[in-house]
Amino acid sequence: MEGASLHLHVLARIPETAQQAFLRWGLLRDSSNSTKLQHLQEWQEMYSPCFWMDAFALIHLIFIMSILVQFLYKRIRWCRQRFKTSTAESKHSYQEQKNTDKKLGITYQASKVCCLLNLASHTLKIVVLLLQGSISDCKYPAFVLGESVQVLSWIILSLVVFSFQKTKSAKLPFIIRAWWIFSFLQSITSVVFDLRSILLDHEYLGPEKWINLFMLVICTLLFVISARGKTGITLVDNSITEPLLSPSTGQQTEIKRPCPYGKANLLQLVTFSWMNPVFAIGYKKPLDKNDVPDVYGKDSAEFLSDSFKKIIDDVENRHGLNTKSIYTAMFLFIRRKAIMNAGFAVLSASASYVGPSLINDLVKYLGGERQYGLKRGYLLAVAFLSAKVVETVAQRQWIFGARQLGMRLRAALISHIYQKGLRLSCSSRQKHTSGEIINYMSVDVQRITDVIWYTNYIWMLPIQLSLAVYVLHQNLGVGAWAGLAATLAIMACNIPLTRMQKRLQAKIMAAKDGRMKSTTEVLRSMKILKLQAWDMQYLQKLEALRNEEYNWLWRSVRLSAVTTFIFWGAPAFISSITFGACILMGIPLTAGTVLSALATFRMLQDPIFTLPDLLSVFAQGKVSGDRVAKYLQEEELKYDAVIEIPRNDTEYDIEIDHGIFSWELETTSPTLKDVELKVKRGMKVAICGMVGSGKSSLLSSILGEMPKLAGTVRVSGSKAYVPQSAWILSGNIRDNILFGNPYDKEKYDKIIQACALTKDLELFANGDLTEIGERGINMSGGQKQRIQIARSVYEDADIYLFDDPFSAVDAHTGSQLFKDCLMGILKDKTILYVTHQVEFLPTADLILDGNIVQKGKFDELLQQNIGFEAIVGAHSQALESVINAESSSRVTSTENSKPADTDDEFEAENETDDQIQGITKQESAHDVSQDINEKGRLTQDEEREKGGIGKKVYWAYLRAVYGGALVPVTIAAQSFFQIFQVASNYWMAWASPPTSATRPTVGLGLMFAVYIALSIGSALCVFARSMLVSLIGLLTSEKFFKNMLHCIMRAPMSFFDSTPTGRILNRVKTDLASNDQSVLDLEIANKLGWCVFSVIQILGTIGVMSQVAWPVFAIFVPVTVVCFMCQRYYIPTARELARLSQIQRAPILHHFAESLTGASSIRAYGQKDRFRKSNLGLVDNHSRPWFHNISSMEWLSFRLNMLSNFVFAFSLTLLVSLPEGFINPSIAGLAVTYALNLNSQLASIIWNICNTENKMISVERILQYSRIPSEAPLVVDYRRPPNNWPLDGNINIRCLEVRYAEHLPSVLRNISCTIPGRKKVGIVGRTGSGKSTLIQALFRIVEPREGTIEIDNIDICRIGLHDLRGRLSIIPQDPTMFEGTVRGNLDPVNEYSDQRIWEILDKCQLGDIVRQSPKKLDSTVVENGENWSVGQRQLFCLGRVLLKRSNVLILDEATASVDSSTDAIIQETIRDEFRDCTVLTIAHRIHTVIDSDLILVFSEGRIIEYDTPLKLLENENSEFSRLIKEYSRRSKGF
């Protein structure tokens, strides 16, 4: 009867509505049986509250004593130091304190208030005790003494906190943090005891309980502050002299960036607290690259590269170099760390199954099996918690270890791929385009490192399956085997899906390779595409390639959606099979066994889903591994091809005996045969010949670049090489000239003078520190060549190989270079120079005809009469035309003037010229702003947003497809999935009997049928959700890609001049590495989806838990707040680290692309080691933010998991402490099965939000490139020119001013002239005088800043770009060819017939060469047209304009790289074909413009002369006369 009254009393304490709900849900049992409630009174009091109060008072006394000891020690030490230190030092320290100000934050103010409130609360307790006479069951003196100690401790704590303001402490002392954490635990204990007394002793909430509750809130806040470890005081330096006395932070951090990971102790490694200093900086300000610490020594690229090289060399020595040996080397490289990781992974997998195995015991305990009392309950709770803690620590360690190992392997492979690129032979190089090799470095290496991550699942899968079967067997007996069979069946279903996915991945990779190859080529050749108005055709080509890729991607994501459906449907399917088998076999299903089985099935999701991923990643990894291994086995340049002879052992610097060389190894007609050559030390050897005669090939054979079929090549001394196509590195001019050598000002200035660069450097705003754009794009052809020559001269080598460097410079500059460099500074050096300019031949000691058909001195070769005279004859005719023009203009004045070709007069003219240029320089100096550093920069740093990802970015992504209409449908599908899933599990827990003896609530058939129906509903919802996410993701990705591609293709040329190709490729790439477009294609939609889905998941979990353990809310709310505080603390640092990591990827790819282009120069100068170190440095620059980014993820995950474990522990303690019969054990067991996943779910929310924000950086970066300002419209409908425009070709230029960028000085200044129609106009001037810029202005590649250009009375700035560029023709300075066929290069739009193309090839002198190829018009053109000589490439460009036949033709040094005889034929062809057209010719060879109708002379961006050649020659002081005079003087030997 007492029990019943007690039951009624307890029920009376609960609100009536809650009673009804509890009774309805089965949480309270409506029974009058007193035995079921007597346990409420028998709830064992393991410890009295009074005992705990005394214990707390004792611990507070220990804290007080510690503080007092610490205080006394500091005072004694301060007194000693005061006696020792001098007055000056004390003044200095006072000054330092004075210069430092403090800023008191909210945290500090809050800690002060909390301490005072705690002090007030304990004082209030004593006051209430004195007023009421009794407040507690404890003895009066003990209670007063305990509270007095508490009051004393809070007085001391308040004083200490107030003292922080005086001592300016930024960090909380350890003892204070410990004290506050202890106070928080004390408050929790007090509230738990209060709750117990309310439930057991029917007490009402008295003053003490309200005070305890209030103190819990205050102590929770102090606990959060102590967890952060900061007082909230920020120090601000007010010192004025400080910046003058010490270097800037940037400089200091650049010199020294200590690695906290390398110095971390065991506890810091486990908790990742070694990351705290990085977070401290990142939280205060956006991280800069210098704020990120260095990687640990064993993670540095140099250490890893050297280690991998030793291993691969050792394996090669033992087994030879093959694919298997490369895999062996990779395994040996990672094995030690991998074994350690495997240990952690196995431990994590094992610990994760402890929870499911104990659920049945917990349900039995809650159901009444309490023979061991509360101890058993607490032991169960400790076992649950210990397993979760072990799982958390092990999981975080293996995941971190796998990522770190992946980083190590990536660094080693990237460095090896790079080094291999510098050693590839010519035939190997032709097999792999630059785009493909860059793909090996980015895509394939990433896929290989993904395998490292998944390798751990190889050992985890069997352990997880074994443990799952064991747990099921313990609970369900033979029924476990049905569960195993269902699991294996689902795994088997996944295998064919994985194979399909693998095939699709191969297709995606192939499609992507094709698109990337074309994209790289288009970006590299953007200028020619714009000049020819082909940009839209190539855009369509790229879009077609992307559509092919998109089709494969769409199939792939649909297959992924099916896989996702299987993943989420697997637990329901397996549980249905297992429970069905148990019902058929008559195995009893109790609540405990069902819940344990459900928890196990949920754990099985991981191995089921991982297996196809594992197989897929291994398949992809195998494909990528084979590709990289095949590349690493490619043939290298044979270093024995050239024998190095010591200088003392021979008088010859170069010897070739019976040399046979060919670019193609299997050929019947080698490129060079029977080469016999001996070059004595100090000889000057000239190499001349027709286009394609093998001049450059001869130099390549001496460098060892060309495969040697027979004979010997001996070289004595160091080499310097100047290739025909200038190779310029991104960076400043000085770095390009020094090329890794130390700076010697005297030597440097002398070389600058000799290479005619002085005036150019004066014109640049930043001198020789002016930054060069990618591939020297902001330099003229002549400037690039002279920088190359200066680089070679500065190298101070023994042998110099010049491949026609004079073709890109004007006559005067060429003459100066030849005189001051070759015959001046290098007069004692051995020099081989290829040249088409016959005037440089007589001074040579030996002249070779390309294929060494003839050799000898100049006069000897003329007498031999075997073809050499054809070249000389063509030159003589050209010279004759110049001399005739010169003499006819000066007939009247010859008698009165002095000989014009004397050196003295020439020098005097040069001096006058210098004075004129000096005056112009002074005039232009007014335009130069003070900020020369910025003004000299063309390539700006990659743009990087700072701070949070704006809401606009998320909004733009979500609304991209159908205005965002599919997003709520997707969320609804996930919500219904969660509802069905929770309902099915709840139904099973509710319907199953607590024990086998208890009668079931419903029949087994109905129970099973309802469960199946709910499971099918959840599976269909998840399928709908996964399909919708895939659809939204891919459609959005496609829309963003097309927007970005259109913006890039329509961007002005200035964008490509200032943006390295690698930077654009990093965003356009669609590989499975972390490039932006790839992230959009495959990741963002899932990441964003999971941000919402994980919230829905945790709401379901909380809903289930709150049914039985509603007090969990009291702890869950503050823990959630702490979680979000952690997330807010983490996000600023992680976001900037992710941005830095992505930005630092592009320089690796850009440097690699540059190195591949200039590999022959790098080898010739012996600079492979320096470039290798640059590559390693760039890899480290990427590894630093990447490593700290993944570490920051683990830092957060560890803390979130631990906080979730804390909530789980609290829930378990509460459940086992509640009296028997107070709750339904089945529902309590269900709550625990959900709580087992609470830590992963809570971590998942924060993790998904953080990870999504990091990934959204890719959307942000793509949106940046979707907002590039566009060029002018391609077509202006209301201003279209007539179809026959330009008819006459009259060009009228008025007040034209052009600059390449707003922050750069004007290149053309106030240009005004009129070019009559159908006239030939020669444009001459020194290198860099603005000739090519005028042409760019004509095509509107650079828009005029001021002034107008009219062609046939139509202002070109008012019509569409395609209408303009499509009606003009140009042969550009840099001949460009595209990978493909001869026909495709001449007519990419397929406008002309084959017959017409053959006619044009014959006119260009290319017909015979193309006919020799078996493929004829389909003859192959490799990347950059490298299988054709530079001269042949220029002839192809001539072919394009002959096909197009415009009435305005521009020749921009079109014949610079061809010999004189070919040049004469080309000039004749142009004269015949374009006799009625306006032709503008920029030329360095004076004879090509001497027969022009008008001559336009440029100097420093201005027109200084414009008249007919005869008129200009009549004036002896004209610039044109001086150029003619120089040309005549240089060629006076003829």
The per-residue b/e assignment along 849-866, b for 16 or more CB within 10 angstroms, e otherwise, is: bbbbebbeebeebeeeee
Residue 201: Cβ-neighbour burial (10 angstroms; 0-12, 13-18, 19+)? exposed
Task: Pick 1064 or 727 by higher pLDDT.
Answer: 727
Cα(152)–Cα(115) distance, rounded to whole angstroms?
12
Residue carrying structure tokens 């209409």: 965
Q: Which of 188-202, 521-535, 854-868, 1219-1233 has the highest mean pLDDT?
A: 521-535
Rounded Cα distance, 1379 and 1377, in Å: 7
- Kindly report, residue by residue over 957-1004, the tens digit of the pLDDT: 888 888 888 888 988 998 898 888 888 878 877 777 766 666 667 777
Rounded Cα gap, residues 1415 and 1423, in angstroms: 18
**Averaged pLDDT for residues 1126-1136:** 85
Res 588 pLDDT > 90: no
Q: From CA 1343, how far away is CA 1361, in angstroms rounded?
A: 11
> 253 falls in which pLDDT band (50, 70, 90)?
very low
Q: How many Å apart are CA 121 and CA 123, to the nearest integer? A: 5
State how far the Cα of 1451 lies from the Cα of 1480, in Å rounded to an integer: 6
pLDDT in tens, 923-940: 333 333 333 344 445 455
Q: Give the confidence band of 888 by pLDDT, cuts at 50, 70, 90.
A: low
Mean pLDDT on 1437-1452: 85
Least confident of 160-174, 226-240, 264-278, 950-964: 226-240
Query: Residue 304's pLDDT band (boundaries 50, 70, 90)?
Result: very high
Q: From CA 1054, how far away is CA 370, in angstroms rounded?
A: 81
Phi, psi (5° rounding) for residue 51? -60, -45
Residue type, 1489: V
Which of 11-25, 449-463, 766-780 is predicted with the least confidence, judged by mean pLDDT?
A: 11-25
Whether residue 33 has pLDDT greater than 60 = no
Are 69 and 162 in contact, with CB atoms under 8 Å apart? no
pLDDT score recorded for residue 940: 52
Q: Is the pLDDT of residue 783 over 50?
A: yes
Listed ranges 361-365, 492-496, 1244-1248; the one with the highest mean pLDDT:
492-496
What pLDDT is recorded for position 884?
A: 58
Enter the DSSP assignment of 973: H
Q: Residue 632's closest CA among 408, 424, 448, 426?
A: 424
What percent of the chain clears pLDDT 90, i.e. is strictly above it?
4
Residue 145 pLDDT more than 60? Answer: yes
Q: Is the per-residue pLDDT at 39 higher than 50?
A: no
- Residue 2's pLDDT band, with cuts at 50, 70 and 90, is very low
Residue type (1 letter), 1288: D
* DSSP 8-class letter at 230: B
Phi then psi dihedrals of residue 132, to 5 deg: -90, -20
Residue 1310, sorted as left (phi over 0), alpha (psi -120 to 50) or beta, turns out to be: left
Strands 1291-1298 and 1346-1351: antiparallel
Where does the pLDDT of residue 1176 fall: very low under 50, low under 70, confident under 90, or very high at 90 and above? very high
End-to-end Cα separation, the chain, in angstroms: 135
Give mean pLDDT, residues 1051-1067. Answer: 76
Q: How many Å apart are CA 16 and CA 23, to the nearest integer?
A: 11
Q: Is the pLDDT of residue 828 over 80?
A: yes
Chain segment 504-514, per-residue pLDDT in tens: 878 887 888 78
Query: What are the structure tokens assigned to 115, written together?
Result: 């301490």
Average pLDDT over residues 199-205: 64
Identify the pLDDT of residue 248.
33
Contacts of 609 (CB under 8 A, 6+ apart): 563, 567, 570
Amino acid at 660: I
Residue 1239 pLDDT: 63
Question: How confident is the model over 1141-1167, as a mean pLDDT?
Answer: 86
Lowest mean pLDDT among 335-344, 626-635, 661-670: 661-670
Whole-number pLDDT of residue 133: 59
Confidence of residue 140 (pLDDT cuts 50, 70, 90): low
Burial of 320 (0-12, 13-18, 19+ CB in 10 A): exposed
pLDDT given at position 931? 37
Sign of CA dihedral 1077, 1081, 1083, 1089: positive
pLDDT at 652: 86
Determine the pLDDT at residue 141: 64
pLDDT of residue 1206: 79
The band of 807, judged by pLDDT with boundaries at 50, 70 and 90, is: confident
Dist CA 296 CA 913 (whole Å): 59
Output phi, psi for 1066, to 5 deg.
-60, -30
Collapse the DSSP code of 840 into the 3-class scheme (helix H, G, I; strand E, B; otherwise coil) and give the result: helix
Alpha carbons 1347 and 684: distance in angstroms, whole number: 50
Amino acid (one-letter) located at 604: L
CB 1364 within 8 A of CB 1390: no
Long-range (24+ apart) CB contacts under 8 A made by 110-117 are 110/221, 110/225, 110/232, 111/161, 111/222, 111/225, 111/231, 111/232, 112/158, 112/161, 112/162, 114/218, 114/219, 114/221, 114/222, 114/225, 115/154, 115/157, 115/158, 115/161, 115/222, 116/158, 117/218
In the chain, the percentage of residues whose pLDDT exceeds 70 is 79
Check if the beta carbon of residue 1453 is closer than 8 Å to that of residue 1415.
no
Which pLDDT does position 760 carry in this prediction? 81
pLDDT exceeds cutoff 90 at 1142? no
CB 1382: neighbour CB atoms within 10 A? 24
Q: Is 1227 helix (H, G, I), strand (E, B) or coil?
A: helix
Residue 900 has pLDDT above 70, yes or no: no
**Cα(861)–Cα(1239) distance, rounded to whole angstroms?**
88
Of 713-722, 824-833, 980-989, 1211-1220, which range is least confident?
1211-1220
pLDDT in the model for residue 244: 31
Angle between helices 207-228 and 174-201 (to 10 degrees): 150
| DSSP H helices in 1413-1491 | 1430-1444, 1460-1473
Q: What is the rounded average pLDDT of the residues 268-288?
A: 87
Closest Cα partner for 479 from 359, 603, 596?
A: 596
Give 715's strand partners.
Answer: 644, 654
Q: How many CA atoms lie within 13 A of 39 on its CB side?
A: 17
Mean pLDDT (the chain) is: 77
Angle (CA) 62-63-67 rounded to 5° is: 120
Q: Which helix (H) or strand (E) holds 1129?
A: helix 1112-1143
Distance set, CA 1517 to CA 909, 1342, 1348, 1440, 1522 (Å): 9, 33, 31, 40, 7
Q: How many other CB atoms sit within 10 Å of the CB of residue 1295?
A: 12
Query: What is the structure's pLDDT at 413?
Result: 92
Query: Among 44-48, 471-475, 661-665, which is the least confidently predicted range?
Result: 44-48
Identify the pLDDT of residue 895.
Answer: 42
Tokens encoding 877 = 């005719």
pLDDT of residue 1108: 64
Residue 357 tokens read as: 């195995």
Those residues whose C-beta lies under 8 Å from the C-beta of residue 192, and which sit 6 or more positions away, are none
Chain-centroid distance of CA 140 in Å reads 69
pLDDT at 48: 63
Q: Tokens representing 845?
A: 């000691």
pLDDT band at 409 (very low <50, low <70, confident <90, very high): very high
**CA–CA separation, 914 and 912 (whole Å):** 5
Instruction: Summarize pLDDT for 444-484 with one digit per residue, the tens.
Output: 888 888 888 888 888 888 888 888 778 777 777 887 788 88
- Strand-pair category, 1320-1325 with 643-644: unpaired
Is residue 364 scored above 90 in pLDDT? no
Mean pLDDT of the 85-104 span? 50
What pLDDT does 868 receive? 56
What phi and psi values does residue 1252 have, to the nearest 5 degrees? -65, -40
Please state, in angstroms and rounded to a whole number, the distance separating the CA atoms of residues 1427 and 663. Answer: 9
Q: Do 755 and 817 meet the contact criterion of CB atoms below 8 Å apart?
A: yes
Band the pLDDT of 239: cuts 50, 70, 90.
very low
pLDDT at 22: 40
* Per-residue model confidence (pLDDT) at position 776: 65
State the Cα angle at 349 between 343 and 351, rounded to 5°. 100
The DSSP code for 440 is I
